[in-house]
A and B are shown apart, each in its own frame.
Chain A
């Protein structure tokens, strides 16, 4: 069971990595006035044809060969619809995919956001060359994290080294908690 939205986000962004994406953007917007939470995950991976995109929320469809059921998108769709929201998929073959999930922010069945610091860190703990742009806004405050920028700061230290990942996690935990205040 996906207990919170940050786990769904990790799962969907892993799809992007597996689709060969070099750049993944994750944007979370919490709008109290509109009572809406929006999560948008965009990538420049290989994309899907209209037919595949349409079937992507069917749990009995998957492109994977290790098993025959793909649960990632159907689970996120269910989480969104449970909270009076919806899931939208925009995809262009050879160009990329954007997944947008909306939720009613105050809905009792909306899952909590969870730990985004761990999700971003987990995405960076990979041997794939992948840039992550993360933005989270709430009540006029923002958290922005650009892995490309951090990589430049690090010089010849690898972003996927334990030392760098641990600093990134601590940094994001601190930024996320200042957003919550």
Chain B
């Protein structure tokens, strides 16, 4: 990619316009990376970047990536909560690595199969 100027951001507007309707809806999947002090110290920013790159390279348009604070389980960071529309409860994934992120996106986000061995627990807590 050549050097981009701030103004070039407008160029993606046309290309991305058709995706907007999808994204402005709730989105099918919401990925929430926990970004408290504990999360950041354990590598959460790198995990968030990894998640965004995966979503972009797989051209997924119905996934929202966001972040939140400490969930009170600092020793389990980095953590990510995955919410899929229609699934009974969000899943919290713990002690994330970039390999785990790839597998979670491949299996849970794309195929709807929660990766049980990376999950903290299947619970009923909602993040919003």
A residues near B (Cβ < 8 Å) are 1-2, 7, 10-11, 14, 18, 64, 66-67, 70-72, 75, 118-119, 121-122, 125-127, 145, 149-150, 153-158, 160-171, 174
Contacts and interface: CB of A to CB of B under 8 A. Distances in A.
Given A11-B37, A118-B45, A153-B7, A67 B74 contact: yes
Interface centre among B4, B45, B56, B60 (most CB of A within 10 A): B45
Nearest to B70: A66
B20 interface: yes
B9 A72 contact: no
Contacts of B3: 174
Given A2-B41, A10-B35, A118-B45, A153 B9 contact: yes
Contacts of B49: 118, 121-122, 169
B56 A163 contact: yes
Nearest to B55: A162
Size category of the B interface is 35 or more
Nearest to B44: A122
B4 A155 contact: no
Interface in B36-66: 36-38, 40-41, 45-46, 48-49, 52-53, 55-56, 60, 63-66
A145 B6 CA distance: 9
B9 A150 contact: yes
Contacts of B45: 7, 10, 118-119, 122
Given A70-B37, A71-B37, A119-B45, A158 B23 contact: yes
Given A155-B13, A163-B12, A163-B16, A122 B35 contact: yes
Given A153-B10, A155-B10, A166 B52 contact: yes
A11 B40 contact: yes
A155 B24 CA distance: 14
B71 interface: yes
A81 B13 CA distance: 46
Contacts of B41: 1-2, 7, 75
A170 B1 contact: yes
Contacts of B17: 156-157
Contacts of A156: 13, 17, 20
- In the A-B complex, the 7 residue pairs with the closest CB atoms: A66-B72, A72-B37, A153-B10, A71-B37, A153-B9, A11-B40, A163-B16
